[in-house]
Amino acid sequence: MKYDLVIVGGGPAGLAAAIAAKDNGIDSILIIERDRELGGILNQCIHNGFGLHTFKEELTGPEYASRFIAQVEERGIEYKLNTMVMDISNDKVVTAMNSTDGMFTVEAKAVVLAMGCRERSRGALNIPGYRPAGIFSAGTAQRLVNIEGYMPGRRVVILGSGDIGLIMARRMTLEGAKVLAVAELMPYSGGLKRNIVQCLNDFDIPLYLSHTVVDIQGKERVEGITIAEVGPDRKPIPGTEIHYDCDTLLLSCGLLPENELSKTAGVDLSPITSGPVVNDSLETNIPGVFACGNVLHVHDLVDFVSQEATNAGKNAAKYIKEGEVTSAKQIEILPVDGVRYTVPKYVRPEVMDDTLTVRFRVGQVFKGCAIATYFGDTLISKRKRPVMAPGEMEQVVLKKSQLAEYPDIENITIKIEEA
């Protein structure tokens, strides 16, 4: 099989990339999706609050997905469901498998990586205690409740105040469970304010910041959870334990981009984001392999995934039509002083679009600070931000015209400064 463009993953990123590639003149596109339907994890995010930026209205996850699915269908873009990509080679041969076609390979001119992310598991968190039934990642519980219709718990403690954890606190409550507490290791929540108010406060669910789970009891099913306060070193403080009789522990402790395929393909990954290192085209170190969405870096809002993926699709189309850009000078964007990383990491002033949105996250809560951008040593812009938190993405927009005025700079620095 041969396609101009293979898109690995049919979630919000893959769908938007496919649509953009098609709209930019590529007809031979194949989306490969491992689940039984397109839409990815949005299908289980049945709460509302999606799409305010993209559609100027509040949609639920499945509704947001359906708008993109409809566009894919309208354009006649091909996709395969229930199909697992097993391997991507560094020369863009994609090996995939399903039960009707068996194992097959697709030679692609370009590949868009859009595999999304997974949740950090109990094991990766090193939570001590027994290993009974009743410990779920928040996303697994979300699937069980929202897609399968089964309740995985009656009395629930949640570790981690990421948005999925907060959303599931409300979901479980509305479906008849008692959510006893949400514990968060950090001194701030990783979730949106709105979710804290509407998912916890509305239901009088306490949020314990700077707390973690120190013991899990129960040999068959969870029988109890002990949480304790942690000090500045994030180690539990003896004597601060709170015990809950409960049957369920949900974990919402961060998401990890799923880059196993990228790794075998030879894609360079960032140790900070765990996603590919990309340039202004969202292209990885392998020419013609692009990345977008949560496989690239974990996003806060799906709207930004769609925007990013649209760029990836557009750039993939350009690559297919025009071939590799080989000679352009590449400038590194340096994240310092509170900026953890940037996506993209490299920008090529000669070939970039007129504007480039550089997204990043900060490493701690900043109040009354500003985002400063330097071209070399020259301060180019300083934008005040009353508050910035690690749970929300920030951005800086670079202009091609402005970069053209500084042809000799070696790098761009983005940092957090006093306002």
Partner 1 sequence: METRELICIGCPMGCSLKVTLENGQVTEVTGNTCPNGDKYARKECTNPTRIVTSSVRVKGGKINMVSCKTKEDIPKGMIFDICKALENVVVPAPVAIGDVVLANVCDTGVDVVATKNVDVK
Partner 2 sequence: MYDVAIVGAGVVGSAIARELSKYKVNACVIERDEDVCNGTSKANSAIVHAGFDATPGTLKAKLNVRGNEMMDQLSKDLDFPFKRNGSLVVCTKDQDPALLDELLEKGKKNGVPNLRILDRDELIQMEPNLADDVVKALFAPTGAIVCPFHLTMAFAENAADNGVEFFLNTEVTDITKSDDHYLIKTDKDTIEAKVVVNAAGVYADKFNNMVSEHKLQIIARRGQYMLLDKSAGNHVSHTIFQLPSKMGKGVLVTPTVHGNLLVGPTAEDVDNKEGINTTAEGLGSLGATSAQSVKNVPLRQVITSFAGLRAHEIGGDFVIGEAEDAEGFFNAAGIESPGLSSAPAIGEMVATQVAEKLGLEKNPSFNGHRKGILNPATLSIEERNELIKKQPAYGNIICRCEMITEGEILDAIHRTLGARSLDAVKRRTRAGMGRCQAGFCSPKTMEILEREVPMSMFDVTKNGKDAKIVFGYNKKI
Can you give the binding site for partner 2, defined by CB under 8 A? Answer: 34, 82, 84, 86, 97-103, 118-119, 121-124, 126, 128-134, 136-137, 139-140, 143-145, 147-154, 175-177, 214-217, 219-221, 236, 247, 260, 263
CB of 251 to partner 2, least distance (A): 9
Instruction: Name the DSSP class of 362.
Output: B
Task: Provide the Cα torsion 303, 117, 220, 227; round to 10°.
Answer: -70
- 50's CB contacts (< 8 A; 6+ apart) are 42, 58, 59, 60, 61, 63, 64, 301, 302, 303
Rank residues 98 and 357 by Cβ distance to partner 2 and give the closer one: 98
Is residue 31 within 8 A of residue 72, CB to CB? The reply is yes
**Residue 60 interacting partner from partner 2, partner 1, none (CB closer than 5 to 8 Å by kind):** partner 1
**Residue 224 interacting partner from partner 2, partner 1, none (CB closer than 5 to 8 Å by kind):** none
CB of 51 to partner 1, least distance (A): 12
Rank residues 96 and 347 by Cβ distance to partner 2 and give the closer one: 96
Rank residues 86 and 419 by Cβ distance to partner 1 and give the closer one: 419
CB of 264 to partner 2, least distance (A): 11
CB of 103 to partner 2, least distance (A): 5
Is residue 294 within 8 A of residue 257, CB to CB? The reply is yes
Q: What is the Cβ-side half-sphere exposure of residue 1, based on CA atoms within 13 angstroms?
A: 18
Rank residues 55 and 104 by Cβ distance to partner 2 and give the closer one: 104
Rank residues 67 and 399 by Cβ distance to partner 1 and give the closer one: 67
CB of 154 to partner 2, least distance (A): 5
Distances (CA, A) of 211 to 127, 185, 198, 241: 13, 5, 21, 9
| Cα–Cα distance measured from residue 263 to residue 267, given in angstroms and rounded to the nearest whole number | 5
CB of 257 to partner 1, least distance (A): 23
Is residue 177 within 8 A of residue 171, CB to CB? The reply is no
CB of 247 to partner 2, least distance (A): 8
| Cα–Cα distance measured from residue 341 to residue 357, given in angstroms and rounded to the nearest whole number | 14
DSSP-H helix ranges across 284-419:
302-322, 400-404
**Residue 139 interacting partner from partner 1, partner 2, none (CB closer than 5 to 8 Å by kind):** partner 2
Rank residues 193 and 263 by Cβ distance to partner 2 and give the closer one: 263
Distances (CA, A) of 221 to 118, 132, 216, 226, 314: 24, 5, 10, 15, 49
Rank residues 27 and 58 by Cβ distance to partner 1 and give the closer one: 58
**Residue 63 interacting partner from partner 1, partner 2, none (CB closer than 5 to 8 Å by kind):** partner 1
| Cα–Cα distance measured from residue 228 to residue 237, given in angstroms and rounded to the nearest whole number | 7
Is residue 60 within 8 A of residue 48, CB to CB? The reply is yes
CB of 139 to partner 2, least distance (A): 7
CB-neighbour burial class of residue 235 (10 A; exposed 0-12, middle 13-18, buried 19+): exposed
Question: Where do we find the tokens 């008849």?
Answer: 176
Residues that bind partner 1 (CB under 8 A): 36-37, 43, 46-48, 58-63, 66, 145-149, 174-175, 192-194, 196-198, 201-202, 386-389, 391-392
**Residue 66 interacting partner from partner 1, partner 2, none (CB closer than 5 to 8 Å by kind):** partner 1
**Residue 379 interacting partner from partner 1, partner 2, none (CB closer than 5 to 8 Å by kind):** none
Rank residues 53 and 154 by Cβ distance to partner 2 and give the closer one: 154
**Residue 46 interacting partner from partner 1, partner 2, none (CB closer than 5 to 8 Å by kind):** partner 1
| Cα–Cα distance measured from residue 335 to residue 363, given in angstroms and rounded to the nearest whole number | 11
Rank residues 199 and 358 by Cβ distance to partner 2 and give the closer one: 199
**Residue 119 interacting partner from partner 1, partner 2, none (CB closer than 5 to 8 Å by kind):** partner 2
**Residue 389 interacting partner from partner 2, partner 1, none (CB closer than 5 to 8 Å by kind):** partner 1
- 107's CB contacts (< 8 A; 6+ apart) are 1, 2, 3, 92, 93
